[in-house]
Amino acid sequence: MLAIASIQSPAFAGAVTAVPKIMPTMMARGKVVAAPEFCYGLPGGKNILGEFDPAGFTKGKSQPEVYRYREAELTHGRVSMLASLGFIIQEKFHPLFSGDGGPAIQQIPQLPPWLWLVLTVGIGAAEFTRIRKGWAPLDDTGKAETALRDGYQPGDLAFDPLGLAPEDPEEFALMQEKELSHCRLAMIAASGFLAQEAVSGQTWGTWWGDASF
């Protein structure tokens, strides 16, 4: 949650093309057989956990499949960063709607119908833009391997209205690593907020002793 500021991080602004390292792994008839870099060179392998994939989601997967997984991870992570920020702020600052409080899940049915229309149009426009930029038409098989356009880097929506993207490639790659870490933390945080409210029936602020929430 402390990483909300990275919502506008450079991965929105364009991706640095990763150059996979050639790592010799075994000998076959006198020749060195190279193994692909972790996640085919995508950000995510240069953190305190290293090449973190305990469930083996990327093991044996092709590059297009891994890219598709990363696209989904970044999308969910960015939404989770917004959600985590929303959980904290809107329970204290709500100028447009009632401040009666209570768990968010209980307030959903109270939303005015016009807001549902706004949400639907807004989410639809965002998804349409993302699909138009990065997704290729599916072939007859409809396989995930063909879902992203050739040359498209996961999460590269060219969205950087504040101009936060560093021009130095190394700094840019570091910011991509940070964004991915923040996305993962935010997904855990948002899930925690929802689970805590569902179990306790109280907002996070009230649960921690602040009656003003």
List the chain pLDDT tens, one digit each, 213 residues: 334 334 344 444 444 444 444 444 444 454 544 456 878 778 877 767 777 787 788 888 888 888 888 999 999 999 999 999 988 887 777 776 665 667 777 777 878 889 899 999 999 999 999 888 888 877 777 665 567 888 888 888 888 888 888 888 889 888 888 999 999 999 999 999 889 888 888 877 777 776 665
Distance between CA atoms of residues 43 and 173, nearest Å: 7
Positions at the binding site for chlorophyll b: 78
Positions at the binding site for chlorophyll a: 73, 76, 178-179, 184, 196
User: Where exactly are the structural domains of the chain?
Assistant: 4-207
Distance between CA atoms of residues 37 and 35, nearest Å: 7
Look at the alpha carbons of 52, 54, 59, 63 in this order and tell me if their dihedral is positive or negative. Answer: negative
Please tell me the predicted confidence (pLDDT) of residue 117.
95
Q: Which residue has the tokens 């602040």?
A: 210
Please tell me the predicted confidence (pLDDT) of residue 182.
93
Positions at the binding site: 73, 76, 78, 178-179, 184, 196
CB 205 within 8 A of CB 212: yes
Looking at the structure, give the CATH architecture of the domain made up of residues 4-207: Orthogonal Bundle (1.10)
Please tell me the predicted confidence (pLDDT) of residue 99.
59
Please tell me the predicted confidence (pLDDT) of residue 35.
53
The two structure tokens encoding residue 17:
């093309």
Which helix H or strand E contains 171, and what residues bound it?
A: helix 169-200
Q: How far apart are the first and last CA of the chain?
A: 18
Q: Which residue has the tokens 């560093």?
A: 166
Please tell me the predicted confidence (pLDDT) of residue 84.
92
